[in-house]
Amino acid sequence: MKTIIYWFRNDLRLVDNPGFAQACGDADYLLPVVIHDPQTMGLTEWGFERVGRHRQQFRNESIGDLKRQLQQANTDLCELHGKPADVLLKLAKTLGDIVVYCEQIEAPEEKSQIEAIRSSAITVREFWQSSMLDPVDLPFDLERMPDIFTSFRQSIEAAKLKYALPKGVPKHVPDLPKEMCGVAQHNAEFINAVAVDFEGGESKANLHIDQYFSRRLPDSYKQTRNQLMGKDYSSKFSPWLALGCCSARSIASRLEAYEQQYGANDGTYWLWFELLWRDYFEFLPFKYGTRLFHAQGLSTKPINPTDLRLLNQWTNGQTPEAFINAGMKELSETGFLSNRMRQIVSSYWIYNMGGDWRAGAAWFESKLIDYDVYSNQGNWLYIAGRGTDPRGGRPFNVAKQAREYDPDGVYLRKWL
């Protein structure tokens, strides 16, 4: 009798979860688990929380939603605490011979977790399932993918690739191992952090996606995506994508169906275009590995020293620039920030305040409910001129950005 542990990582969904579906097909007994790793919950080297309250709450909500869905499928979700290798080794001693199935994540910390588990003589089977495109369909090997996004995009379009087909929910979920029946629990702590317009979980993701398409908001996406305020200026899919409460493939499939019904336009193309940017950042670690996570990135430029006094000014929204302060206040109070403001405040920290880009990236990791290791790293490297972009960095003129994107000062007044 084969016992499989399915370890949910950043794939907190049942629809279009190939790893979980495969586990359901292979197992006689299946134990779904999430693991709270204390290593991810400490302080950064700059002294602030690695995972802030908004991120914690959104993840807790997502886990709670996943648990309810599994209970409806006549099973349960077991929440465990500790280093993944230690937790799974303890389960192996309880359950006997086990195999662990989980999502593949190509980032150093997540890869080291897998290595530690395997060093405990536990078999792990990983599934790559977070991108819109399947790597096996690409017209190039990932180790030789184009460095420049435009070339990457052109290769994808020339091959007429759009997305990999999503999978449905498993028809049957195997029973829990007898040793674990009745012990699964949900003990996440809710902390009263209100993130504007967002609640975690696959159910909430589906509701949001449904209303977005039913209101025909893709049509205006290109025109509004750089706005700073409002619920509808961008898709707002990112919080649920970041934790895998929905999949990029499912959204792309829904987008294609929308185009077939209403016709394609600049807005629908640009929505797919942004999902492709997300794939690009996800695929880069296959080419560059841990180099993307080095202090210098792919560059040889020296690292800016961090003045903690200046870092505190930036993080607390107390810089000499009111526009920057407004953005940093929004980020701290809501756990979210428009893509345009993310670029502006990042640039200001690096180029105007002379800060270490890694401290800024860590602050975003702490605060953003849609923190994603690939996109966060990729975008900060892009702004800092330490990634694959040949232009060597993206400094923004704050006054010009304020005039262009907040000409009447509405955003400024709201947050200050």
Domain 294-415, CATH: 1.10.579.10
Which pLDDT score, from 0 to 100, does residue 188 have? 47
In degrees, rounded to 5, the angle at the alpha carbon of residue 277 between the alpha carbons of residues 272 and 281 is 145
Buried (b) or exposed (e) across 247-269, using 16+ Cβ within 10 A? Answer: bbbbbbbbbeebbeeeeeeebbe
Q: Where are the domains of the chain?
A: 3-129, 203-289, 294-415
How far apart CA 107 and CA 126 sit, in angstroms, is: 14
Buried (b) or exposed (e) across 302-331, using 16+ Cβ within 10 A? Answer: eebebeeebbebbbebebebebbbbbbbbb
Which pLDDT score, from 0 to 100, does residue 372 have? 97
Mean pLDDT of residues grouped by 10 in the chain (416 residues)?
Answer: 95 98 97 94 93 96 98 97 96 94 97 97 97 98 96 98 96 90 50 65 98 97 93 94 98 98 97 98 97 95 92 98 98 96 98 97 98 97 93 92 96 96
How far apart CA 136 and CA 140 sit, in angstroms, is: 9
Q: How much is the pTM?
A: 0.95
Structurally, at CATH architecture level, domain 3-129 sits in: 3-Layer(aba) Sandwich (3.40)
How far apart CA 8 and CA 35 sit, in angstroms, is: 8
Domain 203-289 has CATH 3.40.50.720: no
The set of residues, in sequence order, having a beta carbon less than 8 Å from that of 414 and lying 6+ positions away, is 229, 326
Which pLDDT score, from 0 to 100, does residue 186 have? 46
10, two tokens = 């950043």
How far apart CA 11 and CA 292 sit, in angstroms, is: 23
Which pLDDT score, from 0 to 100, does residue 181 have? 60
In contact, 228 and 340? CB cutoff 8 Å: yes
**What amino acid is encoded at 28 in this protein?**
D
Where residue 96 falls (left for φ over 0; alpha for ψ -120 to 50; beta otherwise) is: left
How far apart CA 104 and CA 213 sit, in angstroms, is: 30
342-348: Cβ within 8 A, 24+ apart: 342/379, 343/379, 343/383, 343/394, 343/396, 344/396, 344/398, 344/401, 345/314, 346/379, 346/380, 346/383, 346/384, 347/383, 347/394, 347/395, 347/396, 348/314, 348/319, 348/321, 348/324, 348/396, 348/398
In degrees and rounded to multiples of 5, residue 177 shows phi and psi of -55, 140
